[in-house]
Amino acid sequence: MLHRARVVFPSSPPSAEPLAAGVRLLEELGLVVDVDPYLDDPSLLVADSDERRARHFTEAWLDPETDLIVAGCGGYGSQRMLDHVDWDRLRNVPPKPFLGSSDATALHSRIRIELRVPSLFGPMCSSSVHLLDDETRTSLRAMISGSDSPSIRAAEKQTLVGGAASGVLAGGNLSLLAASIGCPEGTPPLGALVILEDVGEAPYRIDRLLLQLRRSDWFAQTAGILLGDFVDCGDLHEILVDRLADLGVPVCAGFPFGHDTRQVTVPLGVRAHLDADAGTLDILEQPSWSSG
């Protein structure tokens, strides 16, 4: 059971009201919540300097009183602070879960590469609208309490390629994954079940992002693909079929993660099983932070 959460801001600054609502909702889930300082101006690109944002994340990871680190807001900027984090120091202390999504995708990928521990792709503190959804709260509560993760079901299942596969969960926001190619965090684990989602990208941009991943052989060792919400991205069916259906792996769309009001928490870095015909994802091992 996780008891104390610390909210950090690796990306953009939040708006005050959603952040406060998110803190209250996390407290309702049984967490004591501490909020790190940030530049209180939502018009700014990032929540603080790259060095200070990296230092706050490092301090949160090193703090023995902190059980869970939560990204306070998405937006932009997590990639800018990655190389300022003292990863060597983090490897020498007991690990802990990091929770976030969207722009935090780059941080999830770097945690996997540097620390080799699971992380949680799920609602951020200022995304309190997600925490109002029953499925979202149930999923996050299961992760916080350490209970078995319920199966994740695609609510509006679209089986692009049938079949089943098992592998380690990886991925996240499509734009961040494409932007990380060539960087230390830019490759998925071998045999991964890859989750993909995005928001506010025109169809041609989604096509270009997927093409970039394909041309860089990013999907070469992928075992299966789960597509979440692509909010305000237009009709993508033909593009998704064109870019993903011939990879020779199961592909299923309609899973409730991403930027919609339902946002289940997906444990990255653990083994899971995808049944693309049934539209289900079963978590085969519960995430553990007892050792690196």
Active site residues: 102, 197, 259
Residue 81 near residue 131, CB atoms below 8 Å: no
Residue 199 near residue 259, CB atoms below 8 Å: yes
CA dist., res. 219 & res. 210, Å (int): 10
- From edge to edge, which strands make up the β-sheet containing 266-268? 32-35, 4-8, 68-71, 98-100, 119-121, 266-268
